[in-house]
Structure 1
Amino acid sequence: MYPNEESAMKHVIVSTLILITCAAAFGQNCSFNPAPTALNFGNYSVFSSGSPQTATTSFNVQCSSNGVQVTVSFSRGINSASFNPRTMKNAVSATLNYNIYTDAANTTIWGDGSGGTVSQTYTMGPSQSTLPANVPIYATVALGADMAAGAFSDTITATLSWIRGSNPATTTVTFDVTANVLSECTVSAFAMNFGTYEPVVANAATPLDSTSTINVYCTKGTSGNVTLDNGSNFSGGARRMKSAGGVFLTYEVYKDSSRATIWNAVNINSATSTSKNTALGGGFIAYGRIPSAQDVPATSYSDTLQSVVNY
């Protein structure tokens, strides 16, 4: 064997050993397949009550060999200072609390094992390179939050960990958590009781007045316009109450205490909500008046008005 031939053979042997070493260190790979999709709570009403609103998604894991043990953990989210609660934010950084759980009963917070949370570990069967079924992720958001309307979101990082060869390995994906807080208003029923009208004595020259308060509650930041219809017995430009015998008693409802501006579909009351728990404008007062000296029989009179909130 010539010296050059020996040198060439040594180079070949060394190169082969390097290739074998690299292949042994590569080991198995794992990934989310499918990765978790967005947790979407959908539309959220600040006026709903009861059990928390829920959302679910799921994932599975695919490995390049069988029987691998994997661990899945979740971050707090990009908007959260802690795991409990996690928070979604809107465009102006208002927050809506939620959380992610391992169980449908929503008792165990899924995190990374810190802060009272747990991560989840799964072992694939000796003939399996995936988990036997997709793993559900459960999420809840409590009802009754006093939030402004709009889109809220958070982003979670999901980390998949396993042992590759003798070394720890990880891969990550992200998924969004979303909710849409609705712009809504509700209006309370109201009654205006004039009491006793005496057209011959007390109200011969003096009208009979009364008031009532219309309370409208809206999602924080929502502006509402409140109108009144003309009632069930409107005629000749006047609202009227009616007796069981078909006799009419004229009255009117105004938006001001001086009773100068009739409250109707044109002359409205409006305000912007500061909280779902506070009536717009602190409550709109309806100022009622029965003109004096109406020659009507003694009996009960009534009418029905409808208030409409536009927002």
Structure 2
Amino acid sequence: MPLIRTLLAMLACAVALLAGRAHAQTFGSCTVATASSTLGPAGSFTVASTAQQGSGSSGLGCSAISVATNSYLKVKLESSTFTLTGPGGRTVPFIVSAAPNGTAITTGAEADFSSFDLLNLFSGPGGTVPLYFRTTPTGGLASGTYQGSVNLRWYFSVCTLGVAVCLALSESPGFVRPGLFTTLAWGAGVPVTINVSLTVDKDCAITAPDVDFGTVALVSQFTPKTRTISIRCSADASYTVGLSNGDNYAGGSRRMKLGGNYLRYELYQGTSGSTRWGPSGGERRSSGAADSNPGIHDGSTLQGFTYRAIVDPGQATPVAGRYADSVLVDVVF
């Protein structure tokens, strides 16, 4: 039995090593390995209006670099999803480029880095050659992680030892340097996959018009005012909406203030009834019960929440002047 366990352990190690080689291959001082690039996080409305940009490893890194002789590097984009796929199968298109805001590298196209300054070229994560990713603004997204991939093939011949004369080259398979009797041959290259992801956060856009009760001589002459708060949130995001008690809440009532004087008022849900709209518990309102477009969470449709503002007619008329208060609208997912 101990022998069997030892053999099984050795087999497990061998499998692990083989799996590791599938993700990282070393050629002299250069390594080609699967890499990841993350964009965001960003709110869904930001992703809808603005391209999300970022850089990440292209999978090629060299631990030693010398400029003793010419170096050759190029990468070929063999295939890509060119979209990041997330919740509900929604997608965000993206492009790959060799420089910030650069021209897209398309399927089958190559980017040649041979003329680049090698000492500055390997500036990506972990000393790798960087690539740049840029999304197309896309609306109607749910929050979550969106993922895609890019399959590349690297060809390289890099001097990794020497000062005046190159003493060691790190090369991809089949590479042949140009010489008196040879022509440049890029060889078979080394394939690598770059995983790209974008994190989209929940987001909301809120339009909340002010309430102006106007000017009257007596408190009893104020008339109720009806307003509607419009809200649009990320796709698939249900939520509740609350209204704070304002800056001058006391004795169970919202109050407008002028100096040391107060004017009681209240905000009620809907165009009729006496259900208070407040900040917690049953006083909050659900997106599934909005007054307009209830339960529609597609990221683009506005939902309306109507309320009625009333000045308490039973209070004494305070000193004349402009009374004001501020109420915060909050959305909880």
Give TM-score scaled by structure 2 length: 0.65
Q: Whole-Å Cα distance in 1 between the matches of residues 195 and 213 of structure 2?
A: 57
Q: For 1:150-165, what aligned pairs fall within 5 Å after superposition?
A: 150-160=144-154, 163=174
Largest Rg, 1 or 2: 1
Which of residues 226, 240, 244 is equivalent to 1:225? 240
**CA root-mean-square deviation:** 3.4
Partner of 1:73: 76
Q: For 1:1-311, what aligned pairs fall within 5 Å after superposition?
A: 33-35=31-33, 37-48=35-46, 52-60=52-60, 71-77=74-80, 80=81, 86-106=82-102, 108-113=103-108, 118-121=109-112, 133=122, 134-143=128-137, 145-160=139-154, 163=174, 169-199=188-218, 203=220, 208-244=223-259, 246-264=260-278, 265-266=280-281, 267-271=283-287, 274-279=297-302, 282-292=303-313, 294-296=315-317, 297-311=319-333
SS of the residue aligned with 1:92?
helix
Q: Whole-Å Cα distance in 2 between the matches of residues 188 and 178 of structure 1?
A: 32
**C-alpha offsets along residues 88-146 of structure 1, whole Å, 9 cap, x if unaligned?**
1014211011110022232x222344xxxx3124669xxx9xx9844321111245633
Q: 1:54 to 1:68 in 2, by over 3 A?
A: closer
Contact kept? 2:247, 2:326, Cα under 8 Å: yes
- Listed as ranges, the gaps of 5+ residues in structure 2 are 1-25, 63-68, 123-127, 156-172, 177-184, 288-294
Partner of 1:12: none
Contact kept? 1:151, 1:180, Cα under 8 Å: yes
Contact kept? 2:83, 2:92, Cα under 8 Å: yes
Partner of 2:18: none
Contact kept? 1:199, 1:293, Cα under 8 Å: no
Contact kept? 2:147, 2:196, Cα under 8 Å: yes
Amino acid of the structure 1 residue aligned with 2:228: T
Amino acid of the structure 2 residue aligned with 1:135: V
Alpha-carbon deviation of 1:293? Answer: 5.1
Alpha-carbon deviation of 1:51? Answer: 5.9
Q: Whole-Å Cα distance in 1 between the matches of residues 217 and 186 of structure 2?
A: 95
Amino acid of the structure 1 residue aligned with 2:104: I
Contact kept? 1:88, 1:98, Cα under 8 Å: yes
How many correspondences in the alignment? Answer: 256
**C-alpha offsets along residues 268-297 of structure 1, whole Å, 9 cap, x if unaligned?**
112156344433xx2212211123354314
Q: 1:286 to 1:34 in 2, by over 3 A?
A: same
Give TM-score scaled by structure 1 length: 0.69
SS of the residue aligned with 1:47?
helix
Contact kept? 1:233, 1:242, Cα under 8 Å: yes
Q: 1:215 to 1:75 in 2, by over 3 A?
A: farther
Alpha-carbon deviation of 1:192? Answer: 0.9
SS of the residue aligned with 1:191?
coil
Q: Whole-Å Cα distance in 2 between the matches of residues 255 and 132 of structure 1?
A: 61
Contact kept? 1:75, 1:112, Cα under 8 Å: yes
Amino acid of the structure 2 residue aligned with 1:40: T
Q: Whole-Å Cα distance in 2 between the matches of residues 234 and 294 of structure 1?
A: 15
Partner of 2:166: none
Q: Whole-Å Cα distance in 2 between the matches of residues 257 and 276 of structure 1?
A: 26
Alpha-carbon deviation of 1:212? Answer: 2.2
Identity %: 23
Structure with the larger helix share: 2
Contact kept? 2:53, 2:132, Cα under 8 Å: no
